[in-house]
Structure 1
Amino acid sequence: MATTTTSASWADLLSGRNGIRSMALAGGTALHAINVYVVTTIMPSIVADIGGLAYYAWNTTLFVVASIIGATLAASLAGRLGGKGAYLLGLAAFTAGTLACAAAPSMPWLLSGRSLQGLGGGVLVSLAYVLIRQVFEPALWSRAMGLVSAMWGIATLSGPAIGGVFAQLGEWRWAFWSLLPVVAVLAGIVLVWLPAVPAAGERTAVPGGRLALLAASVLAVSMASLADSRLLQCAGIATSLVLAALIVRADRHAEARLLPTGAYARSRLRALYLVIALLVIGSTVEIFVPYFLQTILGHEPLVAGYLTAVMAGGWSFGSMLSAGRGGAFGTRCIRLGPALMAVALAALAWLFQQPAELMRGPAFGALCAGLAGVGLGIGLAWPHLLTNLLQAAPAEEGALASSSISTVQLYAMSLGAAVAGWVANAAGLGDPGGVPGARTAAAWLLGGFAALVALGLPTARRAASLPH
């Protein structure tokens, strides 16, 4: 604890024992994140080989649901098995899922493997936040969280390249096999460098009923995004909201909670959770950006993929720039992040209405700036939101607060993706389709999400207020 908040540096985090532990925690998140983008890239090749086009979207649906379950279980596993045991169990589940995917003869088999991958990956991602509190002094928390969140940006750059190479070679199964050496290296580091003793005083009970409701809520939203009928889409989203309300009602007075005490009351803690959720939801527009870039502006798939990666690059750059600088700077970042994201989304909504020749020429820089601005908005605020959330949560519920970060992030990601699909389809993405439909969908999707994020600015001001 000799390192003070003002003197802690990236060198303190990345050197010696701290450096190896940082590699383990960030590596687990990187493994999960890279896997997401690798599989997204090779899915067309998988379907062409083993069939199952009707279940294409379930690849993501089941993966995210399992990730939420794994993320919610992480704190309990760490309390029962210690950081080392919990991490190795997560790696084991991920490995089993990867082997199942690599050998899958049919889509149901693949979906089973993806569910195991999601379960193990959810544990690993959530454990990164849980174990930061155990293995680093408080002065390094912000930088450690910035490093972990930056792994998603690295995954966005490397995942499509890894998957693309194997897809191009016609060997999609090797994309899964290639992940196993990384698992082995991480397991070796964990065995030597992570603590094995369970943290004293941490809660280990699992909120099974509410966890089931949470999974059902995500499935309802995901199914709504797949439905052709707008009535069914609305019914799916309404069902998800009802289930979410039931979760809140049950969680308020439960002994084993999904969120810490005070998260549902009018408080700074609730404001922090809401801002986290809004920023994650706003970032989910990236799932349609490659389609808009190809259909509206005529970019090649590879170019469109890496232009979309500019958003993730903005997130990583913002996190690394912002992490470790607390006080008034952190307060400004929490307020600035949502505003910057809203402006960037609104700018993209306008830019996609301009002539393709202009956007591929003189205004190309403006397009890149808009894409980077979306990621930069969340990246600047992210480390400070997480650090403030841990400080605002009751001290005896620190592990629960840590694991809840990934639970809220994954749930918001699922909700945002479903709503994005609903808005885009309702705006004409498929009917009339083509360039006119894509332009209209871009306007409604990007503009609508800009308005949604902007509506959260008062909440961001409450979240940034200094604790009394």
Structure 2
Amino acid sequence: MLDKTQDAPAASDAGWITLFSGGNAIHSLVLSGGVALHALNIYIVTTVMPSVVRDIGGLDYYAWSTTLFVAASILGAALSARLLGRAGAGGAYAVGALVFGIGSLTCAVAPNMALLLAGRAIQGFGGGLLYALAYGVIRIVFPATLWARAIGLISATWGTATLIGPAVGGVFAEYGAWRTAFWSLMPLTALLAVLALSTLPRRTSGTRGPLPLTQLTLLIGIVLVLSVSGTRMAIGEQIAGVGAALVLFAMLVASERSAAARLLPKGALDPRTPLAALYGTIGFAMIGMQPEIYVPYLLQELHGRSPLVAGYIAALMALGWTAGSMTSAHWQGGRARKTIAVGPVFGLAGLLTIASFMPVISAGFAAIALPLCLGIAAVGFGIGLAWPHIVTAVYGAAPAGEEEKASAAITTVQLFAASLGAALAGMTANLAGIDEGTAQGATSAAIWLFGLFALAPALGIIAAVRAGRETANRHMLNQEMD
């Protein structure tokens, strides 16, 4: 059967103005507000942490501020579906905001690093809930015609936070007011909780049953091992850490397949299903982004850029994600489904471009600035282009009765893949010689990092083509049934 939506938007396609009108406007504000709170916190705290250490000490535990936050975020994301089922959208958002607020308050009053780390873990759990809930609640409060646009709005919110967060954090750090950075989050958190309780649905699905404790324990163990190994400079320790994480991951897969209480929806680990292909596309996309963490360093060491300029050039990846999402969010039918496979192509081209131009120092930065910036932006643009339609495809591929679990797994897979990619990037950079602190080591690291990680979007193309084909088949089947 011919797909009549291949080239033209569906007649029922709603405009952006519908997303910001009436009740949809409040829902958009709550969902994007939760994501903004989580994202701003990440970038603000990253900027003020040096001030924190100078004030209360704890330099030896500096990296744990991020490690515990990420691990707790993944745990929160993994449990968000259960919370949504039991408390409803309004109650779940209020709980997430409350937990985040408690964590922020703990950080604001912390007299030492131990208490601050506890606050960061609580913050991470609340933030993970808010971020994952956004994807789960979209399909509850918006009609299907607005799902892709709402997802695009979330992407735009995250990209904006990438620019605003460091600047806001820099102001607090400049005046030595790092505690105020945490206090400033409290009114926003309270407002989010009130809006969520008063505007989002309170209906529950009555989700009950045992928690997948074994899988959750293994998942957090993997993230902690990867995070710790990423902070080690010794190559042997990094390799051992990644190896241990892979063993734990194999145990997680085996446990998930045999457990009565599952962490992921049915079919998520079966490579023959469209759901597994979609999660694979997400995972490869996130792994391919992780060399971004070395972009500021390489720009400073190889090309003499200032920290500020290097930081904002690196931010082009996040801005590219935002631009990609806003470009494709209103697309429908076959055009939308094609983005799932086209997105990784941009990522592959972008990483190969960075690998080609980042190591070139003899020609001067002006000669390579444009292609380098375009390559960095292309990586994010490709993910953003496909993202609204990957997420909506997950909604459609979710088994009956497991829609909330499938939505929550988007964030779980996203954060987990980012942790794995960051650890692999650290190991690759050190093996390539970046720890030597020389221009030759940095050059070698640039070639290996971006060249090797181009394999991730290449594999993502394979997964995305399969996901897109299965999504198209499902769409045609639905049309025939109608």
TM-score normalised by the chain length of structure 1: 0.95
SS at structure 1 position matched to 2:467: helix
Task: Flag the 1:51–1:451 CA change in 2: closer, same or farther, 3 A.
Answer: same
- Where in structure 2 are the equivalents of 1:317-328 lying within 5 Å? 317-328=323-334
Q: Given the alignment, which residue of 9, 13, 26 partners 1:7?
A: 13
Partner of 2:465: 461
Correspondence 1:435 to 2:429: no
SS at structure 2 position matched to 1:467: helix
SS at structure 1 position matched to 2:330: coil
Partner of 2:153: 147
SS at structure 2 position matched to 1:295: helix
Correspondence 1:350 to 2:356: yes
Partner of 1:156: 162
Residue 165 of structure 1: how far off its partner (Å):
0.6
Counterpart-to-counterpart distance in 1, 2:193 and 2:384: 29
Counterpart-to-counterpart distance in 1, 2:220 and 2:291: 22
Counterpart-to-counterpart distance in 1, 2:11 and 2:443: 48
Residue 29 of structure 1: how far off its partner (Å):
0.8
Q: How many residues align?
A: 463
Q: Given the alignment, which residue of 21, 40, 51 partners 1:45?
A: 51
Correspondence 1:214 to 2:224: no
The runs of 5 or more residues in structure 1 that have no matched partner are none
- Where in structure 2 are the equivalents of 1:439-454 lying within 5 Å? 439-454=443-458
Partner of 1:411: 416
Residue 180 of structure 1: how far off its partner (Å):
1.4
- Where in structure 2 are the equivalents of 1:84-163 lying within 5 Å? 84-163=90-169
Query: Structure 2: which amino acid aligns with 1:368?
Result: C
Partner of 1:393: 398
Counterpart-to-counterpart distance in 1, 2:188 and 2:374: 34
Aligned structure 1 segments of 4 or more residues deviating by more than 3 angstroms: 3-6, 202-205
Query: Structure 2: which amino acid aligns with 1:459?
Result: A
Residue 383 of structure 1: how far off its partner (Å):
0.9
Counterpart-to-counterpart distance in 1, 2:71 and 2:217: 10
Counterpart-to-counterpart distance in 1, 2:260 and 2:144: 28
Query: Structure 2: which amino acid aligns with 1:456?
Result: G
Residue 54 of structure 1: how far off its partner (Å):
1.7
Partner of 2:385: 380
* Deviation by residue 1:230-267 (Cα, 9 ceiling, x = unmatched): 22211211111111111111112433322211111122
Answer with 362-371 or 102-111: which moved more. Answer: 362-371
Counterpart-to-counterpart distance in 2, 1:148 and 1:203: 29
Kept after mapping to 2: 8 A contact 1:311/1:372: yes
Query: Structure 2: which amino acid aligns with 1:391?
Result: G
Answer with 226-235 or 211-220: which moved more. Answer: 226-235
Kept after mapping to 2: 8 A contact 1:296/1:356: no
Counterpart-to-counterpart distance in 2, 1:163 and 1:414: 23
Query: Structure 2: which amino acid aligns with 1:167?
Result: A
Counterpart-to-counterpart distance in 2, 1:77 and 1:117: 17
Task: Flag the 1:407–1:390 CA change in 2: closer, same or farther, 3 A.
Answer: same
Partner of 2:3: none
Counterpart-to-counterpart distance in 2, 1:49 and 1:38: 17
The runs of 5 or more residues in structure 2 that have no matched partner are 1-8, 475-482
SS at structure 1 position matched to 2:265: coil
Partner of 1:233: 238
Query: Structure 1: which amino acid aligns with 2:55?
Result: D
Kept after mapping to 2: 8 A contact 1:142/1:383: yes
SS at structure 1 position matched to 2:360: coil
Counterpart-to-counterpart distance in 2, 1:5 and 1:91: 38
* Deviation by residue 1:111-143 (Cα, 9 ceiling, x = unmatched): 111000000001101111111121111111111
Partner of 2:407: 402
Counterpart-to-counterpart distance in 2, 1:110 and 1:25: 27
Kept after mapping to 1: 8 A contact 2:81/2:405: yes
Kept after mapping to 2: 8 A contact 1:5/1:140: no
Query: Structure 1: which amino acid aligns with 2:449?
Result: L
Task: Flag the 1:143–1:204 CA change in 2: closer, same or farther, 3 A.
Answer: farther
Counterpart-to-counterpart distance in 2, 1:56 and 1:422: 19
Kept after mapping to 2: 8 A contact 1:76/1:205: no
Kept after mapping to 2: 8 A contact 1:349/1:447: yes
Answer with 369-378 or 325-334: which moved more. Answer: 325-334
Percent identity between the two aligned chains: 50
* Deviation by residue 1:9-61 (Cα, 9 ceiling, x = unmatched): 21111111001111101110110011001111111121222222221211111
Counterpart-to-counterpart distance in 2, 1:158 and 1:95: 20
* Deviation by residue 1:312-337 (Cα, 9 ceiling, x = unmatched): 10000101111131322122211111
Residue 273 of structure 1: how far off its partner (Å):
0.6
Counterpart-to-counterpart distance in 2, 1:124 and 1:150: 16
Query: Structure 2: which amino acid aligns with 1:229?
Result: A
Residue 356 of structure 1: how far off its partner (Å):
6.3
Counterpart-to-counterpart distance in 2, 1:228 and 1:306: 26
SS at structure 1 position matched to 2:303: coil
Partner of 2:430: 425
SS at structure 2 position matched to 1:430: helix
SS at structure 2 position matched to 1:296: helix
Residue 269 of structure 1: how far off its partner (Å):
1.4
Query: Structure 1: which amino acid aligns with 2:462?
Result: P
